[in-house]
Chain A
C-alpha cells in the first residue's frame, strides 16, 4: 500500500457541486500539503497544515477549504466547483527535518 493515499483517483463533477478529496498517510508525518498542478504551471500550494490544530492558506486557497481530521488525514473541499478548478491535485507529507516531501498518487478532477 502507498504511504500517502488519495481518494478518489479520478472524479468528474458538475459546476456548483461540492466535492471532497481525501488524503491519508501512514508515514507519521506532521506536515501535510495540498497542491494543484496545471499543465505548464508546476505545482501550486493550496493549503498546508503542520499539525492537527494548524491550517494555513497557500498561494491559491480561494474556492477551497481543508480539514485536518487527524495527524494522518487531510481533506480538501471544493465548496462549489467551477470549471477552472479542473486540474490534477496532489497531497504531500513531510517530516519536520524539512527535506523530502512524499506525494500521493494524485486525483484528476474534471469540472464540467
Chain B
C-alpha cells in the first residue's frame, strides 16, 4: 500500500520569498511524482510532474527528487499572494500512471 505524507501546515512565507514544500513517499519503486494546487473550495489542478530521472523547472516552480531519502520537493520562487493554496503531492499507484495516491496537502499562505 503506497503512502504519501505531507506536513499539513500552514506554511507561511512573505511575498517574494521562496516557499519549500516537501512530500515523502513510501514506495521506493515510484517513478513519477505530481504536484497539484488546490484553491479553497476549488478542484485540484496540475502544476507539474517529474519522473525519477531528474528534477524539473517551470517558471517559478521547481520540483526536485531525493530518491535516497524518498522525498520530493516543490520550490516556489518569488512567492505571490496568489500562490496561497493547498498543494497536493500525488504518486501513481503503478508504473503505468494509473490512479494516484494523494498526500493530505500542505496549506501555503503567502503574506503581502
By a beta-carbon cutoff of 8 Å, the part of chain A in contact with chain B is 31, 33, 35, 40-45, 48, 50, 58, 90, 94, 97-101, 103-106
B45 within 8 A of partner (CB): yes
Give the residue name and chain of the A residue nearest to B100 (CB). Answer: A101
Give the residue name and chain of the B residue nearest to A41 (CB). Answer: B104
User: CA A100 – CA B37 in complex, angstroms?
Assistant: 13
B29 to chain A, nearest CB (A): 15
User: CA A99 – CA B36 in complex, angstroms?
Assistant: 12
User: CA A90 – CA B88 in complex, angstroms?
Assistant: 14
B81 within 8 A of partner (CB): no
B52 within 8 A of partner (CB): no
Nearest first, the 5 A-B pairs at minimum CB distance are A98-B97, A103-B43, A42-B104, A43-B102, A42-B102
User: CA A101 – CA B92 in complex, angstroms?
Assistant: 11
Interface string of B70-101 (1 = CB under 8 A from A): 00000000000000000010001000111110
Q: Is the pair A40, B8 in contact by a Cβ cutoff of 8 Å?
A: yes
User: CA A6 – CA B98 in complex, angstroms?
Assistant: 22
Give the residue name and chain of the B residue nearest to A108 (CB). Answer: B41
Q: Is the pair B43, A98 in contact by a Cβ cutoff of 8 Å?
A: no
B39 to chain A, nearest CB (A): 11
Q: Is the pair B44, A43 in contact by a Cβ cutoff of 8 Å?
A: yes
Q: Is the pair B43, A42 in contact by a Cβ cutoff of 8 Å?
A: no
Q: Is the pair B45, A43 in contact by a Cβ cutoff of 8 Å?
A: no
Give the residue name and chain of the B residue nearest to A38 (CB). Answer: B104
User: CA A98 – CA B94 in complex, angstroms?
Assistant: 10
Q: Is the pair A43, B88 in contact by a Cβ cutoff of 8 Å?
A: yes
Q: Is the pair A97, B97 in contact by a Cβ cutoff of 8 Å?
A: yes
Within 8 Å CB of B92, what residues of A? 98
Give the residue name and chain of the B residue nearest to A50 (CB). Answer: B98
B74 to chain A, nearest CB (A): 15
